[in-house]
Amino acid sequence: MGCGFVFPLWLLLAGLGLMAQGMAPRTRYEPNWASLDKRPLPRWYDEAKVGIFLHYGVYSVPSFGSEWFWHNWKNLRTPEYVQFMQRNYKPDFTYQEFADEFTAELFNATQWALLFRDSGARYVVLTSKHHDGFALWPSKHSFSWNSMDVGPKRDIVKELAAAVRSVSDLKFGLYYSLFEWFNRLWIDDKLHLLMQHSYVDQKVRPEQLELVQEYLPEIIWSDGDWEAPAKYWKSEEFIAWLYNDSPVRDTVVTNDRWGMGTACSHGDFYNCADRFNPGVLQAHKWENAFTLERSSWGQRFDVSLSNFMSTKELVKEIVTTVSCNGNVLINVGPTKYGTIQPIFEERLRDMGRWLKLNGEGVYGSVPWLYQNDTETPNVWYTRGQHEESNSSITIYAFVLDYPYDSNELDIHPLGKEVTISRNVHLTGLDFGTDGEVLTKQTTKVSMLGMDNTEVQWSSNHNKLHVKFPPKNHLDKRGLDYAWTLKITIT
């Protein structure tokens, strides 16, 4: 009995089992950014490229201004909001009374999910709770201020999650606002200079755990982080639990809004700011979250057609983002009735048709040596991730402006100059440096969506001169908004 420690038999057997299967023990992450930032990004997110964002809640009832209606009306006393309420509601009307009118009687989760599937998106993120604190699920920590107790009398999160998983392969994610404008626990913590954590301990953390354990979201899109540091929100502890012990630990991804100073610094992918699209390659995976209606994330009726992004603008946003190592998260705001307005549906279906023809250059792609063509404006590049062999490479050139004047275009997929140091070391291919680089023997050029149609082209060293098929041939095949040249070099 001289040994003071007995190695557990179950742990020994587990270790032997892992060794037999050739598996390494699961990495456990510590609740600090140094450790959390080492976690590899789950592959599905990088390959997905396109997501749908949904801002849906009590703010959908007034449908005026933006989803920040309550704050702008009561905290800021913004004149147009005050006047809107004076003109349309009784003097003592409260924001809480809007919840009774948040009926969602036409909400059909399956219809939504089918639309998102047809849009070509690969994931969807629903606002489970915005800054007004109204929960779209029967939160145990939001009595009479959730979609089961008041308004729809339905679990919106559950219905949409089930529908998305039933009729599509989309990943399901949830947005969650850390703070709430008028929550007394939050206000009291601020009055105590954030030295106490009553709001986090009694509201935020229980709801976060509830959402993950009940609905298994594979994206946790955090927001409302700017008024307190991550230590107050206990963000590192929550993310460590997500990565180590949650039921979605192998697939879940998080953004970067976990406390003051975390934006563009921590998280599986960076948002950095709303509508962030830097136009240059980013080393860390990032996401461009933007709205189809330019001004508001939530539904509003005080709009005109000019407030909406056109399909061509939408496609350009996708192309420029993906070329620079980003994903797009495209926001629509449903109505209080639970419907998605036809203009949003039209844009999403247009996007779906475009991606069906051009998605080969989007999904699963990786950044190319050059993101855009500096010689010919509005041409952007990606590279195919899965090459047919080690001796070939596929480059996709997205042409955003059709060459109406000549029907011909010069592009430079290998840059202005081709050198051994650049192309051998960075692509693994020796294109050579003498004479013609892009030859008929080494290069194949085609246009996505134009199967069985030969694209005429010629080359001069690193320049490709491409003659586009006649515009009426493109139109007949539904090719519009942007045209994708596929360049395969062996």
3-state secondary structure the chain: CCCCCCCCHHHHHHHHHHHHCCCCCCCCCCCCHHHHCCCCCCHHHHHHCEEEEECCCHHHCCCCCCCCHHHHHHHCCCHHHHHHHHHHCCCCCCHHHHHHHCCCCCCCHHHHHHHHHHCCCCEEEEEEECCCCCECCCCCCCCCCECCCCCCCCCHHHHHHHHHHHHCCCEEEEEEECCCCCCHHHHHHHHCCCCCCHHHHHHHHHHHHHHHHHHCCCEEEEECCCCCCHHHHCHHHHHHHHHHCCCCCCCCEECCCCCCCCCCCCCCCECCCCCCCCCCCCCCCEEEEEECECCCCCCCCCCCHHHECCHHHHHHHHHHHHHCCEEEEEEECCCCCCCCCHHHHHHHHHHHHHHHHHHHHCCCCECCCCCECCCCCCEEEEECCCCCCCCCEEEEEEECCCCCCCCEEEECCCCCCCCHHHHHHHHCCCCCCCCCCCCCCCEEEEECCCCCCCCEEEEECCEEEEECCCHHHHHHCCCCCCEEEEEEEC
Predicted pLDDT at 427: 52
- How much is the pTM? 0.91
Predicted pLDDT at 454: 85
Predicted pLDDT at 461: 79
Residue 460 makes CB contacts below 8 A (sequence gap 6+) with 436
Predicted pLDDT at 23: 53
Collect the ranges in the chain with pLDDT lower than 50: 1-7, 9-14, 16, 18-21, 388, 420-426, 432-434
Predicted pLDDT at 20: 47
The residue whose two tokens read 């709303």 is: 274
CA dihedral sign, ordered 417, 420, 426, 431: positive
Predicted pLDDT at 71: 98
